[in-house]
């Protein structure tokens, strides 16, 4: 039995995505294509009964989240700086694989610590609280997270490698597309008086909602080592 379902979404397209610029913490807005992508995803998810939403406070993510939740005006949307893209320092605004020195670049280990800390605090914390309150016994609760490609791929890879979640057979963790959707299903397991969560990722960066529309296959922020 599935008790929780987590939807993790990357924001829609921006002009910096289109031109291959590294965004990092720069607050770049969605372009018209990105707004359309968010609208198509909103339509695809309109019947999902989200219990709560979480988003990066950067507008390309928060606007995507707001669009998805337009059919659910009662859902609380929590904005959190911890869901921002990796901080790219001096590389922000550069195009492609820039060789410019970036002494203030957020190191991979720091990014993993940040996104795992957020996940344990906000997602695992929410689910365990719901279990204690007896709210996980009925229909599965659905949660929405909207963030950025580099952060999402880092988080999911670290959770799978660290065996915090399982990965369905055939799924591979790679580049994350605009408005790509990953889904993790969680089951509550009881052993004696102890309850814990078992999560399985069943989709990764799925863009079926975009049908045959144009999409950018490479994310400059994910190219930075």
CA distances from 209 to 29, 42, 79, 179, 190 (A): 21, 9, 25, 9, 36
Active site residue 148: no
SS3 50: strand
* Residue 25 is a catalytic residue: no
The one catalytic residue among 3, 11, 13, 106 = 11
Region for residue 45 given its phi and psi (left: phi exceeds 0; alpha: psi -120 to 50; beta: otherwise): alpha
Polymer length in residues for the chain? 225
Written as six digits, the tokens of 134 are: 């007896």
Q: Which of 3, 13, 85, 222 is catalytic?
A: 85
Buried b (16+ CB within 10 A) or exposed e, 140-176: ebbbbbbbbbbbbbbbbebbbeeebbbbeeebebeeb
- Indicate which residues carry an active-site annotation: 11, 85
């Amino acid at each position: 039995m599935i008790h929780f379902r987590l939807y993790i979404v990357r924001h829609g397209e921006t002009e910096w995505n289109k031109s291959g610029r590294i965004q990092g913490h720069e607050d770049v807005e969605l372009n018209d294509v990105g707004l359309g992508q968010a609208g198509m995803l909103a339509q695809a998810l309109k019947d999902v009964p989200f219990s709560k939403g979480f988003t990066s406070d950067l507008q390309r993510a928060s606007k995507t989240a707001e669009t998805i939740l337009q059919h659910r005006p009662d859902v609380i949307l929590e904005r959190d700086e911890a869901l921002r893209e990796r901080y790219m320092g001096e590389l922000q605004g550069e195009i492609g694989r820039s060789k410019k020195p970036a002494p203030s670049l957020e190191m991979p280990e720091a990014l993993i610590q940040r996104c795992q800390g957020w996940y344990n605090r906000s997602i695992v914390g929410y689910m365990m609280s719901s279990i204690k309150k007896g709210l996980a016994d009925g229909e599965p609760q659905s949660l929405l997270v909207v963030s950025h490609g580099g952060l999402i791929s880092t988080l999911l890879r670290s959770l799978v490698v660290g065996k915090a979640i399982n990965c369905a057979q055939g799924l591979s963790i790679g580049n994350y597309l605009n408005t790509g959707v990953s889904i993790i299903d969680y089951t509550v397991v009881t052993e004696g008086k102890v309850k814990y969560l078992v999560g399985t990722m069943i989709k990764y960066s799925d863009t079926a909602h975009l049908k045959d529309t144009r999409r950018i296959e490479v994310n400059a922020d994910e190219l930075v080592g």
